Structure formats: structure tokens, C-alpha cells
């Protein structure tokens, strides 16, 4: 065994998972129009976003709505759905990539906005698109240990400012085809928010058991996707090839350690693009009909994309269904987590 070990949770359940859609729909055709001067100059065809990535549209927040306000809204929805009072929360983890300042944490505004008690620990956990699943794992460990009883994990993302900066840079007379391809992933991003409440399974026998999973790191590839306020710069092929190797290794390690994920009822993956989804399905031989896709309408909503997809799928899942959450984050890191619905 090389890499990170598998892990198991003994008394943790998912009580609720909710999402908030940003209301302003922005199509890939709209993006093509914004980039028309550079696409013409660089002799690049329109509809690459839709044809290659499969992203037909994404969403932006309405003017005056901040990403952390949306995270507060998602958190309030999750608490209401779970039937848990704000005063019962012992831990808040914000997993957003988006942030407006280095300090204080994004979590403090969300903690205050939700009226959580002074006794509730709160902090940011940043690990690119894998952050939300990491947050669930950390909170589950703390619940299993008895340190806390209930945890709230949130993520709110806002892609607009970064994409506006990317438009300006790519429309400059000095931009090249290589620049466009290197920043192509930035144009697939979207805005949205998600939240989950988890607590002790022993107190909620009808809730969805978080059983555990596997985690693996491939940090020698930490320069393949680097994002910041000015944009996201990606070696797309390198990211896909090495990400697939990491996923396959994690999958094999988990099965060596007693997990069996070959016949799940649903595989909820991090949402990126057509090529990413197709490659994951092929690499570990998943049943395509059991892999929902939301990136055509939401784009890649960073760490919020997986829980937003899970919240959508929750409407059609039945008691006893087996769900595998599968995430990969730039860095590279991957985690898979099984939930018994």
C-alpha cells in the first residue's frame, strides 16, 4: 500500500444536503460573443465550450448578492431540512474557494449570519474542488470521537469576477491561442452554494449513514492547475491524465481494503466537463446511467459542485441506496466517500 489509507466512520449520518442556484443564467454562446474579437483573430471556432467541455451555461449571482450570503442561505436551508437548531451546531466548516480577503476567514461571516453559538468552532478548509468532501470527513471524525454532536459544512462560489478578468486578458491584442487554451477551464466555472448537516447516526436512525472511503494525494502535480483572483491556468491534458491515475490507484486501494463500489446505485462525481466524466466512467468501469451530470447547466462550481449534484439526486434516491461521492481537486488530491442512503 502506498499513498493514504482508507478510513471508516462508525456513528455519523448525513441529515441534510441543500443547494442554492445563482439566478443569472449566462450561456456559453454569451461567452463566445464576449470573446468574438479574439476568437476571430486567433482563428478559433465558436462553441468550443459547449462542444468540447459540454458546458451549455453557468450561473452568476444577481447584483448585490455575495457568495457568502448564498452560503448563509444554503446553511439555513440545510438546518431547516435537518430539523437542527443553530444552537446545536458545534462546528462550522466553510470550504469555499472564493474569498474577498485573506483574513478573517469566510467562516466568521457565515457563523454570524446563521446565528451559531459562541461554542461552535468555525474555520475555512481550503483544498480546491475537494474541500467539501474533506470537510465532511473531518466533521465525521469529530462526531465519531464525541468532540461535537452536529456539524455544518458550507461552500459558496462566485465565478463572475474571475471570468470578467479573463475576458479582458483574452481579448487583448497580445493574447495567443496558447493563452486561450491555458485559460479555457476558467470559462467553464459557475456560481452556486451548498450546505450539509451531519450528526450522530445513533440519534437519527432514518438518516443517511456516512460509511467512509479512501483518500490519495498526488502532490507532485501541484502546478497543473493553479487558480487565483486573476484566473485559473490549467494544463488540461496533464491534469486529466494524472488525475485519472490517482483516481484509479485510490479505487484499487479501497477495494484491496474491503470496499466494493462496483455496484453502487449512484456515483456523484465532481462536475467538470464531458471529457473528465467520460474518462472517470471508463477508468473504473462505472455504469453511465448511474453517473448524474450537472455541469451542462451549472458549469464547474468548485467544491460546491459535488454537494449541489448530491442535493439534486437526493430527490430520487431511496432508503437503502448506495451512493459513492467521488472528488478530485487540483493539487492533486482525490477522495471517495460512501453514503448508505
Q: Which three cell numbers stand for residue 112?
A: 454570524
> Could you identify the residue written with the cell 497580445?
174
Catalytic residue from among 57, 73, 129, 313:
129
Buried b vs exposed e over 182-218: b needs ≥16 C-beta within 10 Å? bbbbbbbbbbbbbbbbbbbbeebeebbbbbbbbbbbb
Q: Are 275 and 101 in contact (CB under 8 A)?
A: no
Class of residue 82 by CB neighbours under 10 A (exposed 0-12, middle 13-18, buried 19+): buried
- Compute the distance between CA of residue 76 and CA of residue 84 in angstroms, rounded to an integer: 10
| Degrees, nearest 5: CA angle 25-177-55 | 25
Cβ within 8 Å of residue 287, ≥6 positions away: 267
129 is catalytic: yes
Region of 123 on the Ramachandran plot (φ > 0 left; ψ -120 to 50 alpha; else beta): beta
57 is catalytic: no
**What percent of the chain is helix, strand and coil (3-state, nearest 5)?**
40, 25, 35
**Which are the catalytic amino acids?**
103, 129
Amino acid at each position: 500500500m502506498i499513498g493514504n489509507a482508507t478510513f471508516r466512520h462508525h456513528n455519523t449520518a448525513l441529515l441534510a444536503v441543500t443547494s442554492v442556484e445563482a439566478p443569472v443564467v449566462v450561456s456559453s454562446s454569451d461567452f463566445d460573443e464576449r470573446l468574438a474579437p479574439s476568437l476571430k483573430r486567433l482563428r478559433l471556432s465558436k462553441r468550443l465550450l459547449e462542444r468540447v467541455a459540454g458546458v451549455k451555461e453557468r450561473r452568476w449571482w444577481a447584483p448585490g448578492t455575495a457568495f457568502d450570503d448564498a452560503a448563509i442561505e444554503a446553511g439555513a436551508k440545510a438546518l431547516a431540512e435537518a430539523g437542527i437548531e443553530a444552537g446545536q451546531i458545534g462546528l462550522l466548516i466553510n470550504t469555499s474557494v472564493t474569498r474577498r480577503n485573506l483574513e478573517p476567514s469566510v467562516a466568521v461571516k457565515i457563523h454570524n449570519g446563521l446565528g451559531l453559538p459562541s461554542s461552535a468552532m468555525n474555520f475555512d478548509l481550503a483544498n480546491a474542488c475537494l474541500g467539501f468532501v474533506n470537510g465532511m470527513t473531518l466533521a465525521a471524525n469529530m462526531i465519531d470521537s464525541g468532540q461535537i454532536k452536529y456539524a455544518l459544512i458550507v461552500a459558496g462560489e462566485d465565478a463572475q469576477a474571475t471570468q470578467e478578468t479573463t475576458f479582458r486578458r483574452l481579448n487583448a491584442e497580445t493574447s495567443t491561442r496558447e493563452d486561450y487554451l491555458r485559460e479555457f477551464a476558467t470559462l467553464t466555472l459557475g456560481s452556486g452554494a451548498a450546505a450539509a448537516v451531519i450528526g450522530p447516526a445513533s440519534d437519527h436512525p432514518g438518516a443517511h449513514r456516512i460509511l467512509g472511503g479512501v483518500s490519495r494525494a498526488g502532490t507532485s502535480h501541484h502546478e497543473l492547475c493553479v487558480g487565483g483572483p486573476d484566473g485559473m491556468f490549467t494544463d488540461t491534458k496533464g491534469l486529466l491524465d494524472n488525475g485519472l491515475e490517482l483516481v484509479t490507484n485510490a479505487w484499487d486501494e479501497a477495494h484491496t481494503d474491503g470496499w466494493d463500489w462496483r455496484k453502487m446505485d449512484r456515483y456523484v462525481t465532481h462536475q467538470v466537463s464531458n471529457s473528465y466524466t467520460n474518462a472517470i466512467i471508463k477508468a473504473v468501469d462505472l455504469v453511465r446511467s448511474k453517473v448524474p451530470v450537472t455541469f451542462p447547466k451549472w458549469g464547474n462550481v468548485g467544491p460546491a459542485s459535488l454537494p449541489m449534484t448530491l442535493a439534486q439526486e437526493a430527490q430520487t434516491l431511496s432508503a437503502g441506496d448506495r451512493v459513492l461521492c467521488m472528488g478530485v481537486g487540483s493539487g492533486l488530491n482525490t477522495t471517495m466517500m460512501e453514503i448508505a442512503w
